[in-house]
Chain A
Amino acid sequence: MNQGMIRQFGIFLNPYYWQTAVLIAKNGLARMYRNSFLGILWTLFQPLTMVLVYATVMPMIMRSPTSNYTLYVIVSFPVWGFFSASIIGSSQSILCNGETLKRCIVSSSVFPIADVLRNAYTFFVSFTTIYIAAMCIGIAHFDILIFLVPFYFIPILIIIGSIAIAIAFIAPYIRDIGELASISMTMLFWFTPVVYQVQMLPPVAQSFMHFNPFFIMIRPIQMLAYGHMLPGITETLHLIVLAGIAVILGFSIYRICRRNYVYYL
């Protein structure tokens, strides 16, 4: 690492950078729900509706039913919602704040990070509320392992944050990146065990699944909150390695694209 790289990376260690990101994230949340009748409650309805739809329809069309399928969808769907909203939304993070970035001295990466934090907040609100509701009506039962979800969410946050930064900085150069991300996420939804279990796939497909980064991210959360088991060394290691790769790739793209992006806004 040369001095310039250390200085650029050092931004992410500055507490004021994170305070700014939280402030912008709060701003985004307030803007989204300020004039709506139900406000923040809308963050619950979208995943809840999808959970109800999948929990009703999928058991009817699946050949081998999954035990407690409703809980499986309750756990998986909000996580996927977080991935999807963060990655698709990041394509607009820089473009929508172009005028501010041209005039103010704020680190440009703070905008995609703020969007990811906002989505992480809505994920935690919806996940926690729906999970508690599921416990109250007997779909889920309490297990101490549920408290490990935030710890396993940290590497996920790093991975998604890195991908979001990369997409946000590519977007001024290639405006189609948002559409490409949207199509990719729709495809990946069906290639990732969100509404079906990995065991339902043929053995060959199961082995390919270990190369799917979204499977690597969603698997430990499913194990903790649905399977009530601690993720093994392999799952944890895969997640950490993936976080490392995402940081290196995301930071490299950020370094390449940040230099001239302002002229493309």
Chain B
Amino acid sequence: MSGLIRLKNISVWGVDTHARAASLRQWFISRKSLASVRIPILQDVTFSAKPGDRIAIMGQNGCGKSSLLKVISGNYPVHAGERHVEGAVVPLIEMGAGFEPEMSGRYNIKLSYAYRGKLQDYSKAIEQTIIDFSELNEKIDLPLKTYSSGMTARLAFSSAIFQNPDILLLDEIFATGDAGFIEKSQEILIKKVDNVSIAIMVNHAPNEFTDLCNRFILMDKGRIINEGSRKEILRHYYKNILHISDQNVITA
């Protein structure tokens, strides 16, 4: 098993695009500055993962969980610190991104491979596997815009899941669709998490997938604030961040 993640004192800043002049009109008339106003996204994050790690990152919306995944996947460049990632990374972040409504489902399967930089893994055989799994059958050649949202979600999930990464990143993306499809998808997702070298999933609440994890991390305001057992992290999260003191919720 290969795969390694080492992040050392990582800081990432976003840009407040409303505060700076992005056009000449805003510069001349609104008198906005040309300089970028930085917003901290991640601050001094040190994190590592080795083969066998199944990591659940928890925290409120906007705490930096998804940004951390984007740093690992390489979508977000870092402004300070060191990033070292070994192995093929597959981020399942908002599956279906880049889908083209005017084109057929079949074409969108190929497009989704291209957008993940995995065109070399695409083949007619994998395409058929995806079509079979998504249960779209003859509808696969219809334009995506004619699909229901459930069908689109099934296609998005199916075209994302049949990849063999070393590092799997899951951003609150779990099975969608009807009951039968959800069950089938959960099964394959659990198998996938079991088989990859490193799996990292982010959540703002525990679920059946966090039960698969052997490491638990809590984030708040762009920082990693705690790492420990599931129970310890949940207690910290509910008590100190969400301010929920109900013992039943904490121990759930």
Contact = CB atoms under 8 A, between A and B. Distances in A.
A20 B114 contact: yes
A100 B98 contact: yes
Contacts of A263: 13-15, 76
Contact of B77 (A30, A99, A259, A264): A259
Q: Range of interface residues on chain A? A: 20 to 34
Contacts of B76: 262-263
CB-CB nearest 7 A-B residue pairs: A100-B98, A103-B97, A104-B115, A20-B114, A263-B15, A175-B22, A105-B117
A12 B25 CA distance: 36
Contacts of B119: 16, 19-20, 23
Contacts of B229: none
Contacts of A176: 23-25
A99 B114 CA distance: 15
B116 A106 contact: yes
A97 interface: yes
Interface in A34-66: 34-35
Contacts of B81: none
B117 A27 contact: no
B75 A105 contact: yes
Nearest to A28: B100
A207 B227 CA distance: 71
19 contacts: A16-B119, A23-B110, A23-B119, A27-B100, A103-B97, A104-B91, A105-B73, A105-B74, A105-B75, A105-B89, A105-B91, A106-B114, A106-B115, A106-B116, A260-B77, A262-B76, A263-B13, A263-B14, A263-B15
Interface string B24-57: 1100000000001000000000000000000000
Interface residues of B, number: 33
B102 A262 contact: no
A230 B119 CA distance: 41
Interface of B: 13-15, 17, 22-25, 36, 70, 73-77, 89, 91, 93-94, 97-98, 100, 102-103, 107, 110-111, 114-117, 119-120
Interface string A163-179: 00000000001111000
Contact of A27 (B13, B14, B24, B103): B103
A102 interface: yes
Contact of B97 (A24, A35, A104): A104
Contacts of A259: 77
A262 B97 contact: no
A7 interface: no
